[in-house]
């Protein structure tokens, strides 16, 4: 499992000050109360839209408002670039061009080459349960706009387009290429990775910003907490995770510093069918072609590497707890990070921590 991701780390309700409470959901809109932070080390916030969700950045430090705007612009430029680069719908994006390719060899940016290489490794680690090549299947379900179930015959038609990692990634002397060997109809979807990837890249920018004590990157619930909260003795952020399907009940709280907290859940995007009590959500099992259904409502991953957290939160939801623990064990060993943690929340309210 030692990989491109291992070697490179891939450039690897909020109430602040007394605590930080974040609803880990891809549709979260955060409210920030800066509280009584040290007068010299002020708090600044910016909000924006990217990755099909509402996002916020909070910065704390000995800076003025003009400097904070410069810092926000640097971070937002990164996010906007990644948003465009990996969009499935923007005709100018690299992923769109790959999904509509008419050639077996496609020249790409370093970032796109890296994520294609890592996604292939993640597919192997998960025994095929994490499958970014299932874009056609994900598009068919489109739970954001659906009110009826897809026709089983349509599902059967797109299943042969999944499970396709028959490509090589070449990265040498500044030339980045992906060489595909078959099935031009396969489309790739990096929605389960791109926010984690972007958080890791943002961390590198934050490390280069002068006089920054702490920052919170919240990309629609994918949260990265950077630095230390100077007004807290332990310097830690308190991140609260809401109970699935609740109207604001916090079911668990974790303390973190320089870590990401990333949640995948069936309550985030779903639809119901008239006369059917089940929910049909956006976490699709690529082996069955249908939303995963194993009694788990959400999985939260706490990790230093946000891309890894993004991957694990989705994959663990699909695998179920027993097999998810084995996957986490492998990541702890191969990333030399025994501090990777998981919180499983079940439909019956039970909480399991690992």
pLDDT, tens digit, 9 for 90 and up, residues 161-211: 999 999 999 999 989 999 999 778 899 999 999 999 999 999 999 999 999
pLDDT at 3: 52
Mean per-residue pLDDT for 212-223?
93
The CA distances from residue 257 to 9, 131, 339, in Å, are 18, 30, 12
**pLDDT higher than threshold 90 for residue 21:** no
pLDDT at 32: 30
For 61, which DSSP code? E
Segments making up each domain of the chain, as ranges: 1-354
**pLDDT higher than threshold 60 for residue 99:** yes
pLDDT at 23: 37
Q: Taking all residues of the chain, what is their mean pLDDT, rounded to a whole number? A: 88
Grade residue 286 by pLDDT with cuts at 50, 70 and 90: very high
**pLDDT higher than threshold 80 for residue 18:** no
Q: Return the CATH fold of 1-354.
A: T-fold (3.10.520)
Strands (E), the chain: 42-50, 53-61, 105-107, 167-172, 175-180, 212-219, 222-227, 237-242, 250-256, 259-265, 270-272, 279-281, 284-285, 290-291, 296-303, 341-346, 351-353
Mean per-residue pLDDT for 60-89?
96
Mean per-residue pLDDT for 100-128?
96
pLDDT at 231: 80
Mean per-residue pLDDT for 276-296?
94
């Amino acid at each position: 499992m030692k990989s491109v991701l291992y070697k490179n780390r891939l450039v690897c309700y909020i109430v602040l000050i007394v605590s930080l409470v974040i609803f880990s959901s891809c549709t979260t809109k955060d409210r920030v109360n800066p509280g009584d932070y040290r007068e010299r080390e002020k708090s600044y916030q910016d909000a924006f839209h990217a990755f099909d969700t509402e996002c916020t950045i909070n910065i704390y430090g000995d800076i003025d408002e003009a400097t904070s705007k410069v810092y926000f612009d640097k971070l937002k430029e990164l996010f906007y670039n990644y948003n465009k680069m990996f969009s499935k719908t923007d005709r100018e994006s690299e992923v769109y061009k790959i999904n509509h390719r008419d050639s077996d060899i496609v020249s790409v940016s370093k970032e796109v080459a890296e994520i294609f290489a890592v996604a292939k490794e993640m597919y192997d680690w998960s025994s095929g349960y994490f499958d970014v090549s299932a874009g056609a299947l994900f598009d068919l379900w489109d739970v954001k706009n659906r009110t009826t179930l897809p026709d089983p015959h349509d599902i059967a038609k797109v299943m042969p387009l999944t499970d396709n990692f028959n490509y090589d990634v070449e990265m040498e002397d500044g030339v980045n290429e992906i060489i595909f060997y078959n099935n031009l109809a396969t489309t790739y979807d990096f929605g389960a990775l791109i926010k984690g990837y972007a958080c890791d890249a943002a961390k590198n920018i934050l490390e280069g910003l002068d006089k920054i004590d702490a920052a919170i990157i919240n990309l629609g619930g994918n949260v990265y907490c950077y630095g230390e909260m100077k007004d807290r003795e332990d310097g830690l952020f308190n991140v609260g995770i809401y109970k699935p399907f609740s109207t604001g009940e916090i079911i668990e709280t974790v303390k973190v510093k320089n870590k990401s907290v990333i949640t995948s859940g069936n309550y985030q995007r779903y639809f119901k069918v008239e006369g059917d009590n089940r929910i049909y959500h956006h976490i699709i099992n690529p082996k069955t072609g249908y939303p995963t259904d194993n009694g788990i409502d959400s999985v939260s991953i706490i990790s230093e590497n946000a891309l890894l957290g993004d991957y694990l939160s989705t994959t663990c939801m699909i695998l179920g707890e027993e097999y998810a623990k084995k996957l986490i064990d492998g990541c702890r060993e191969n990333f030399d990070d025994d501090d990777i943690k998981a919180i499983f929340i079940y439909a019956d309210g039970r909480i399991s921590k690992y």
